[in-house]
Structure 1
Amino acid sequence: MLALISRWLQRIDYFTELSGRLISWLILLLVLLTSYDVFMRYVFSQGSVALQELEWHIFALIFLLGGAYTLKHDGHVRVDVLFNSRWLTNRHRAWINIFGTLILLMPFCVLIIISTWPFVQNAFWYQEGSPDPGGLPYRFLIKSSIVVGFSLLLIQSIGELFRNILVLKQTGGQ
């Protein structure tokens, strides 16, 4: 059973690592686009609504699709003063992570996926685009990243649950 959990954990971690590294390249693209946009606006007084929307969309992709990668690398906000105190053992931390994952993270991900699904469906149905003149078409694609991002986060939370179960099993079940 532990071997099966370990194998699934490796697959989830590999997928999250790969997707996170691919998404991280969007940061460079965002910096380049923003620099170009600022240069064009302040030097040539030429702004672009489509370019500004593209910057917002790329930022949304980084934020939404990078959440699972951040979880894998323990980069989300937590109360480190308590969690990393010398009074908590790895076993205690594993239990805190398990309860936090089961009670907070996973239900939140499911809630967001379920509640945004109709929102995304409507956007696809109507082929939603930007309401601004000169804005980007295909806004429905960026809206679908909400469901995709929280699905990735849910998958990684399952991986974190497995990881913490392994910590409990390896420390002897005490």
Structure 2
Amino acid sequence: MNYLDKAIKYLGYFTAFILGVLILLVVYDATARYLFSTGSVALQELEWHLFDIVILFGIAYTLKENAHVRVDIFYASFSKKTKALINTIASLFFVLPFSLLIIYIGIDFVHMSFVQQEASSNPGGLEYRFIVKSLMPLSFVFLSLQAVSQAIKSFKKWRSL
């Protein structure tokens, strides 16, 4: 699990880098649009694609860092043993099945986009939209692996308490 944790950590670093690029791109785009009255459809679509990367790849890193959303009002008052059990159950019976479903559905989604050579319908937009769409099942592969890792760690913690 150490290799997986390290890989997800670097995925988080990559996501942070992409977020930095996205911020610079948005600042440039807004400056060009409002100060110089110029703009680019491709640039705006690239912003959305980079935003997709940040969201999709950030999911597994967020789970690894235990920074995901949960009902902390209840969780905070539970014992360490109960928290470990909840984390194990949530990873195995909620996160993992949902991730596998998204992967299963997403593969056909990406395949169809690839076969059609899907591109932007906007004039001047980006081509090869299937590339960004392929990140959806890939990101849930990372999330599935992280969910299994979390479940194993939480189960070991539960047994040791």
1:71-121 per-residue CA deviation (whole Å, 9 max, x = no partner) reads 001111001111111xx2111001111111122111100111111111100
Structure number with greater Rg is 1
What displacement does 1:169 show? 2.6
Alignment match, 2:99: 109
> Contact (CA 8 Å) 2:92, 2:148: kept in 1 or not?
no
Q: How many residues align?
A: 161
CA distance, structure 2, for counterparts of residue 64 and residue 121 of structure 1? 18
Q: Percent identity?
A: 39
Task: Write out the 4+ residue segments of structure 1 that deviate beyond 2 Å after TM superposition.
Answer: none
Q: Give runs of aligned pairs for residues 81-100 of structure 1, distance below 5 A.
A: 81-85=73-77, 88-100=78-90
CA distance, structure 2, for counterparts of residue 70 and residue 51 of structure 1? 28
Q: Structure 2: 5+ residue runs without aligned partners?
A: none
Q: What CA RMSD, in Å, does the superposition of the two structures yield over aligned residues?
A: 0.9
Alignment match, 1:14: 6
Q: 1:151 aligns with which of 136, 141, 150?
A: 141
CA distance, structure 2, for counterparts of residue 162 and residue 146 of structure 1? 25
Alignment match, 2:37: 45
CA distance, structure 2, for counterparts of residue 47 and residue 103 of structure 1? 46
Structure 2 length-normalised TM: 0.97
Q: 1:80 aligns with which of 62, 65, 72?
A: 72
Alignment match, 1:30: 22
Alignment match, 1:64: 56
Q: Structure 1: 5+ residue runs without aligned partners?
A: 1-8
1:48-68 per-residue CA deviation (whole Å, 9 max, x = no partner) reads 100000000000000001110
CA distance, structure 2, for counterparts of residue 165 and residue 99 of structure 1? 9
What displacement does 1:126 show? 1.9
Q: Which amino acid in 1 is paired with 2:142?
A: L
Question: Which secondary structure state, in structure 1, belongs to the residue aligned with residue 134 of structure 2?
Answer: helix
Of the structure 1 ranges 28-37 and 17-26, higher mean CA displacement relative to structure 2 is found in 17-26
Structure 1 length-normalised TM: 0.90
CA distance, structure 2, for counterparts of residue 127 and residue 147 of structure 1? 18
